[in-house]
Chain A
Amino acid sequence: MTATAITLTGLGKSFGMTDAVQDLSLELAAGSFTALLGPSGCGKSTTLSMLAGLTAPDRGDIHFDGASILDLPAERRPVGLVFQKPLLFPHLTVADNVGFGLRMRGMRSRDRARRVAEMLDRVQLGGLGERRVGELSGGQEQRVALARALVLEPDVLLLDEPFSQLDTTLRAQMRALLRRLHVDSGITTVFVTHDQGEAVEVADTIALMLAGTLAGHGTPESFYTRPETLAGARFFGVTNEITGRTRHGRFSAPGTAIDVSTDLPDGDAVLVIRPEMIQLEAQAGVVDGRRIGRVVGARFAGTHVSVDVELGHHRLRVHHPAGRPITIGQSIGVDLRQGAYTVFTTTGR
């Protein structure tokens, strides 16, 4: 089975007056593991529902390997879906749950039993086939749900916040299991989550959805180092925003000595930089790239010291390595290295 590439073009879905999904265009490479990330209500579950065929889009198209699948009803799409709740059939045993799809296809009982047993071993539930659903723990239930979807060898695997109901340690174990299964099978996987930490940990690529539309698509690092939109940057926890203007290829923020080159057009702009990307150096004269600020607060935060620095009118939050002394009131050099920050235009917002 070769992996399937997914293409979403101009996908849109409205419920009454609300646009759950607006003009979503996305390409997911064959065999990729993509996290569809976004806050609640941003349309990611609806997108998944449209991919599975449970909801029909109002606009746009979905292609698997170049062929549109919109005409296929949900029961005929080569898609596996694991929901937030395991949704195991309560009147069936674990083995019967896992074998459900195979039974629907008309596979014979003996063949089913074999495939089910193999799959249960792969999700580390070997030998639990005869258990009833009510006897399982939360983690076991989700593994059964996973097995139930994977045993059908779908072209695409969709997961809708499948581990959100589990506790933290269990979630980490389940993510590891999922990654192993992905490596073994190579199925194109889409994993919906609202937790950016989880997205970063489990996926190869992240597609960020905000307010029903795409706000970034790339590797996890790119969201940290080169966020595509201001909203995306904010979602990933950038806390420092310095407003200013761009003019003739340079961005400057009044009240600070910040003056960096940029290829944005003239207009209002904002420079964003993550707390851990700002370097603080004891003042040793003004060198190119450094500005002088004043430390107004410092708090130990385990892996780092959280330092508040005043730079002109702006207050910056810096994650400074623990162990390097910082005193309140100290004048300090603030180093904004080229590549550590991003500038966004805000004109027309």
Chain B
Amino acid sequence: MTDPLDPVPDRLRRSATSTRRHRPGRPLRQPVRLGLLLAPALVVVGVFLLGGVAQALAQSFGYQPYLSGSHLSTDAYTALWTDPAVRASLLLTVRVAVLSTALSAVLAVAAALLIRRLGRGRAAITGLFQANLAVPHLVGALCMMLLLSQGGLLSRLAHLVGLTATPAAFPAITNDRFGVAIIAEYVWKETPFLTVLVLATLGRGAADLEAAARVLGARAVQRLRYVTLPLLAPALAGGSILVFAFAAGSYEVPYLLGRPYPATLPVVALQYFDDTDLTSRPQAMAVAALIAVLSGVAVAGYLLVVSRLSRRAL
């Protein structure tokens, strides 16, 4: 099965004797050559990304580069741990990320199964979904505001059909405590992404396997449960991890569509970061480290789920 995080085809791994892989005599020896080829990219990832996170971690303990007399302590973490705002943020972030991911995944599977059966409309809808992928999340946030706010389009439609009399009568789903509009924006943007991913995974192969299952006596619901869903599960899991990680780490959308309190972790991180109080900087770093840990948990979860899925039997 193809791992969406590793699109290099399987045959690369299987062929042990392929002469294509043999490099003729070169001035540079292979490990050196490989090192040179990989160096720039690994510098970007290693130094910038991982180094940045490591720095955030270090600075969260009070380490201050370029300043003497920095003393290390866990004050920042203690402050965060005892701050109910941070706990509320963590809860909100996880809730928003989990709900958005779950909803998007379910909708994406349903959409993919539907689109698969379409004849001529299929290319058009897939094109529409791909166009949706091009819309930046920042714009999506604005769209949701204009659609879902109490003065927005939905509210006006509700007024039109007589459900509400004033803007305030329409439920406040933007800038609310629960994060409804935030979830809506993520679902709007990520469902097409996951749908296109699932469609690509099912491709041609799934139809053949379903035909085989049919002849073996599997009814439609059984085919879905025992053939189709297991086939798309790995790709869906991989894609869902990407969605979760993105939702947990995104800033613009929860800032614009949410509240300052409780805010998601990225928003809180920047709140502390911009704060002129000296003790806030390490706290900002700690929140950043927490965000990184959250994504790490997501990846660990993905690896666990994928390895369990590929070992599952009937």
Contacts and interface: CB of A to CB of B under 8 A. Distances in A.
**A–B interface present (Cβ within 8 A):** yes
Interface of A: 52-54, 74-77, 79-81, 83, 85, 87, 89-93, 96, 99-101, 103-105, 148-149, 152
Contacts of B166: none
Across the A-B interface, the 6 shortest Cβ-Cβ residue pairs: A101-B216, A87-B212, A81-B215, A104-B217, A91-B230, A74-B214
A100 B314 contact: yes
Given A89-B227, A104-B222, A54 B313 contact: no
B215 A104 contact: no
Interface of B: 1, 208-209, 211-219, 222, 226-227, 230-231, 233, 309-310, 312-314
Nearest to A112: B314
30 contacts: A52-B215, A53-B214, A74-B215, A75-B214, A75-B217, A75-B219, A80-B215, A81-B212, A83-B211, A83-B212, A87-B209, A87-B211, A89-B213, A90-B1, A91-B1, A91-B230, A91-B231, A93-B313, A96-B314, A100-B218, A100-B314, A101-B217, A101-B218, A103-B226, A103-B314, A104-B213, A104-B218, A104-B222, A105-B217, A152-B217
Given A91-B233, A91-B310, 6 more contacts: A74-B211, A75-B215, A75-B219, A87-B212, A92-B314, A152-B216
Contacts of B213: 89, 100, 104
A52 B214 CA distance: 9
Contacts of A92: 313-314
Contacts of B227: 89
B217 A76 contact: yes
Contact of A87 (B208, B222, B310): B208
A103 B233 CA distance: 21
A291 to B, nearest CB: 56
A105 B216 CA distance: 9
Contact of A85 (B1, B208, B214): B208
A251 to B, nearest CB: 49
Contacts of A75: 214-219
B93 to A, nearest CB: 33
A87 B211 CA distance: 9
Contacts of B217: 75-76, 101, 104-105, 152
Nearest to B229: A91
A100 B226 contact: yes
A101 B216 CA distance: 5
Nearest to B220: A75
A99 B215 contact: no
A108 to B, nearest CB: 13
